[in-house]
Every structure is written in structure tokens, then in C-alpha cells.
Structure 1
């Protein structure tokens, strides 16, 4: 008798393999330059690796406290105060997480339930919508302004309802590279002031904002900070995406609820990397110098793209460059974005991500995203191939 696997309804029936996995596999198959998935192809600072190795040798290899190792939480609180002039209590308001993706899921799980509504601003990072759907809540998509990807506060206001539990914002913005302005942050603060709506602020690219702009963390705005889970990522900041270490800063009452969920979905985060990061953070220069480091890569890549028919969109932050394909002198420009990216990978040898992948219902506006968190030689090789266009 053959055993039968029981059937059960999918919790995420619309979800398949992510576009990032698909494009990376296609890039490997065709030996294309992979500017699709957002991770560096260069090593982190050896000093950081040494700090982690030292922590291992010093015996920091057992469970740390559930909220995270105290030295790391204290370093995070000090950094936030120095940069954004807001004090968070390291003991009760900072939690170390297994990357930003876990942090976002945990923030949603701790405060959202069936019957609630959560506003997401599209295009958005692909974990937001499935995270909300897992709670049984309703996703309320609000489009950012096409072309500029700036928030439309009229549409956000119209989306608010008595059922709105939270809004997820992301600045610097993946995929567009847009950075929210002080005026926009104040407008959101004023809009939410009479409500009980929570804010989940995805700030993983906080140290990649290019002059003359600065990162407008929710922490700078008291009316937002009082209702916000602020999410950031050491993987993005220190070029160690595979380490999967991030953190959440939130008022004590929100943190208490966050930790109730955190303790049961990961409990805690690997110990030696926490102590290594804490030691490394004593020097602020690595994250203070990051904007200039990535601005140079952005400018190098944009200079190469200027030799093509791609129309470059502004890149104010992150390590992503979006371009319009509408003016290309190739018939494939009329393909849907996803099909164009597959053609680009197979025939030109450069992988990119279609912007339509960041919209729940799909929205094809002839825009694709490249990642420039790569060695200069990688960017130059990609530019040489793209120059055919």
C-alpha cells in the first residue's frame, strides 16, 4: 500500500518561486553578469571577520539573551542617538533579529490579525504582502507615484479606515532608490496623528543616501517614532547579507509585544556574530563612509548606462538603479518587463529584475532594476555588454 500525503489548503496559494531566485538561476545558466539579486560580490572588511573569530575563540558560542547580546543592543542604541537624536533603551527597546526579513514578519505578526488592514506602498519588497496574508489581515495597496515613486498622501489618506492597523514604509526605497524628504515624513506624521495606526519602517538602506540628501529615519520624528517599529540590517550595511543579522528599535510597549513573537519564531540570533558586530561598531567610520563608497559605484554604473538608450531614473539612495526600457532601439523593448529581463539575461548577458515583480497585481511600466553593489570590474563588464543597446 502506497502512503498518501494528506492534502491541505495552502496558506499562500498565489506564491511561487521568487523572481530573484528565477533570475539568479537564469544568470548562472547563461553566465550572465548578475545585477539582479541585491547582494555584493565583494568581501566585507577583514576586521569584522576577525572580530567574529575573536568572539568565537573567547567562548561566545552558546545562546545569548533572547533580545540579543547586551553589548550589541547598547551599540545600536548609541548609533541611533548619535545619528537621529532619539534615545532608545537598549534593554527594553532594541531587539536583535535574524535579518530584516524576520524582523518585518515578526513586527506584523505581533500586532496584526484577522479583520485588520495593512497599507503597503507599491512597488514594495516582496515579503510584505505574504507576511500580511499569513495573519489573515487584508492588504491595502497604495501606489507610489509612477515615474518618481514619491508617496501620494491623498491616496494614503483615502486608504485609511477604522480597520487600518499599520502602514509599512520603506526609505531609502527598494526598488526605486527614492528617499523620503523631511516634508514627506512630517506629512505622514500629521496624517497619522489622530489615528492608532502603527508604522513599520523598513530602513535597511539607511546608510546609502547620497549627498546632498540625508536619511530621514522615523526616529527623527517623535509622532512617528512613538508608533513605529524601525527595522535595519547589518547585512546591507557591512556587506554580509549571508549573516542574516538585523535589529528592531521600538518603544517599550511595542517591543514587549514584538519579543513575545520573536522568542517563538527564532528565539535569538547567533552569538559570535553579535559580539563581533558590537566590537566592530565602536568605529563609526564604516557606516559613515558608506554613502561615498556606494555613490562612486552608482556614478560609475550610470556613466556606463549613459552610453545606451536606457533612460536613467534618479537614484537618491540604496544600491539599486532603475531604468526605463521604453526608448531602446530593439524590438524586445515591447515585451513585458519580466520577459525583457529574461531576454536581456540570455542574449545580452546581464541579469536585471522587472519592476512589475514588486507590485502585487503586476504593473508594467517598462522599468527594470539593476543592483550596483558589485566590484567595479563587474559593473564595467556589465556596462560593456549593455552598451550594445
Structure 2
């Protein structure tokens, strides 16, 4: 029989996408996958239509339409105070996921080690393994999920090549402080480590929290790879437009990988996104954060009223909740029970830990609250209707 490559044998399918299919099969509200169910800014859609009708329908430059790269550089300077060179330090990719893939494949050799903080977004570990690297894990402890630099110091060894960081964080909602990031940056300089910073939720920050791009810290730009994109900020997850900001030598390597992965991101969508970055006012981003903070407050309150223990996320648009209320013995049982009893789909928390395992003293579920107010109100109504815990079901996943 034909066989697949050994490097893919241990890679499981995405639990997040699996839960989306399960939600659809059961007619459940999909609070598992992090896509908004609202519309993109109407002017952005019109700019995309204009680009399509004006003939912007062929390949762009492999590493991104020059207009889009210039807009990314200008927006980065406007918001974060540093201006990457659009010609040599910006690569446009097919989504932030491809940005991360191209980056890790460009910097990791077989036998290298990559440090990942858990709970983690699910694509970091499979990508490291596809590169032939080994993953070393550092657990961030709830409820604070603080970044412990000394733990990183103990884990980092002679084969450690890089650290992956995600801030604002999916799935915990943490926005790491300047103090935490400065400590990690100091260690990266001391040990000559690269820092791959996933900042796709950079504009989803609430309350007193402040997003600090790692590349803006002293002497960090030359060892930082920053990943972001437009899918979350402009509510166009289906457009698949991401980008990588990195110093020129690393960008050259990343572009080689990107070229053979996808060639180029969609041209008309890049043109439209460039106009959005150039023309949408600062008030758009302010209102975005305000609107999602309100969604956060509404949904977290509904979870707590229904008996789920959780705290307010500082950023991104996810919340991890203790689902002991459901009387389940594991997070997968809790996810099944929630679909069966309330018609709500969430992601079992174990999928964000190494090997899909974590201590089950408190089954965790991750919810995405990036939904329209009507969807969240219906979710709150269904959560409130939950009766006393019922007997847990079988151990199999729902199908």
C-alpha cells in the first residue's frame, strides 16, 4: 500500500475545524471557530469589487503587491512607531497561517528546538514538526497565564533556535505586559534566539491592557519575525491575507518558502486591503476594540451566570471557561454535552496542550465571542436554559 511521509504521521486534523463541522451537523451555534458572522466594512467590499472590475486579476509580485506592502509599512509606522522596509522586510502571504508556516520552515532545521507556550494556537506544533524540529513546551498557569522567563531560561538549550509567542493570545485572551516581553527579549538576546511573534489580534485589546509589538523593544528588530494580517481586523477571514515583517536576511529566506507554497496572495484583495489600511480612519480601530469589549462583557457574563468559571480576556476574542458545570469527566464530554443540551459548539481545551492532553480536574472549553450581538444573545439564552448537570455521555467524540 502507498504510504505517506513519516513527518505527517503524527499530525492530527484541526480540532477547531472539526468542531465547526460538528456544529453544522447538529445545527448548533458555532462558537468554536474564530470567524465573525457579521459583514466586512462596506467600503472595503466596494474597493474589492472595483479592483476586480478594473482588471486587477492576475498574479501580483510573489511577496505582495507593492501598494499593499507600502500600506502595511505605513500602518505599522502609524500604530506602532516603526517602519519596516516594504521592499525588503515585508512578505504578503495567504493568511497568517501561511505566514507562520513560511516563517518556521525558513528558520528551523531538523533537530532544532522551538519553544512554545501552552495553551497554544494549534498550528504551531504541526508546523515545527513538518520542519523536522522538536518542540519544547512551557505551560502558562491559569488564571493569570503569566509569562515566566525563568522557565524559558531553564528549557532553552544549545539546540534551541526560536521561541513562538502569541499576543494578544489565542486561546487565553492574555495580552502580555511590556515587563514580561522585555524579560523574554533579554533572554532571546542573551541566548541568541529568534522570536516569532504572532500578533494577528493586535487591534483587539481591552481595558487597561496595551499591545506591545516585540519588534519595538530594544535591539529586538533584528531577531524578530512578526506575523499579522487583515482577516480579523477587517472581518474578512475568507480573504486569506496575512503578512510577515522581518529583517531583510530572514525575509529573503521566508520569501523563498512562500514562493513555493502559494506563489502569491489574491491580487484584487490586496489592492482593496491596501486602500482600507490607507483610508479607514483611526476611529475604525477604536470602535472595533470598543465593540468587541462589549461582546466580551456580554458573553463572559452569560457564561458566569450559567455556572461556567472564567475571567475577562484582556485581548483577542476568545475565552477559556471551566465547564465542570456540565458534570462531564473530560473536555470532550463537556463539548458534546453542550452541543446536546444547549446547541452550542465550543473547542475542547485539551487541543491547545501538547499531545491533546491536559489535567482533567477542570474540563476547559474555548469559546469565540466574535459574533453578532443577536448570536451572542441567543447563546446567552441557551446557556441560561441549562438545567442541572446531566450524566456524562460516552467517551467518543461526537460525529
Normalised by the length of structure 2, the TM-score is: 0.92
Does the 8 Å contact 2:334/2:363 carry over to 1?
no
Which 5+ residue runs of structure 1 have no aligned equivalent?
none
Paired residue for 1:313?
Answer: 311
1:226 & 1:170 partners in 2: Cα distance?
Answer: 19
Is the aligned partner of 1:338 residue 2:332? yes
- 1:65-84 pair list within 5 angstroms: 65-84=61-80
Which 5+ residue runs of structure 2 have no aligned equivalent?
387-399
Paired residue for 2:55?
Answer: 59
Is the aligned partner of 1:129 residue 2:88? no
Superposition RMSD in Å:
1.4
1:263 & 1:284 partners in 2: Cα distance?
Answer: 33
Paired residue for 1:270?
Answer: 266
Tell me the CA shift for residue 119 of structure 1.
0.5
Paired residue for 2:171?
Answer: 175
Tell me the CA shift for residue 26 of structure 1.
2.0
1:342 & 1:348 partners in 2: Cα distance?
Answer: 10
Paired residue for 2:367?
Answer: 370
Tell me the CA shift for residue 253 of structure 1.
1.4
The one-character-per-residue Cα deviations of 1:60-110 (angstroms, maximum 9, x if unpaired) are 111111110111111111111111111211111111110000000100111
Aligned match of 2:292 in 288, 291, 294? 294
Paired residue for 2:32?
Answer: 36
Segment drifting more, 82-91 vs 94-103:
82-91
Is the aligned partner of 1:385 residue 2:369? no
- 1:2-151 pair list within 5 angstroms: 5-151=1-147
- Count of matched residue positions in the alignment of Structure 1 and Structure 2: 381
1:373 & 1:319 partners in 2: Cα distance?
Answer: 6
The one-character-per-residue Cα deviations of 1:163-189 (angstroms, maximum 9, x if unpaired) are 111110000000010100010111111
CA 1:147/1:306 → structure 2, altered by over 3 Å: closer, same or farther?
closer
1:99 & 1:174 partners in 2: Cα distance?
Answer: 16
Tell me the CA shift for residue 9 of structure 1.
4.2
Tell me the CA shift for residue 152 of structure 1.
1.6
Paired residue for 2:352?
Answer: 358
Tell me the CA shift for residue 155 of structure 1.
1.2
Tell me the CA shift for residue 238 of structure 1.
0.6
Does the 8 Å contact 2:317/2:370 carry over to 1?
yes
Following TM superposition, where does structure 1 have runs of at least 4 consecutive aligned residues deviating by more than 4 angstroms?
none
Tell me the CA shift for residue 8 of structure 1.
4.1
Does the 8 Å contact 1:40/1:239 carry over to 2?
yes
CA 1:146/1:60 → structure 2, altered by over 3 Å: closer, same or farther?
same
| Secondary structure of 1:222's aligned partner | coil
- 1:199-238 pair list within 5 angstroms: 199-238=195-234
Does the 8 Å contact 1:178/1:314 carry over to 2?
no
1:388 & 1:157 partners in 2: Cα distance?
Answer: 47
2:246 & 2:12 partners in 1: Cα distance?
Answer: 32
1:373 & 1:281 partners in 2: Cα distance?
Answer: 21
Normalised by the length of structure 1, the TM-score is: 0.94
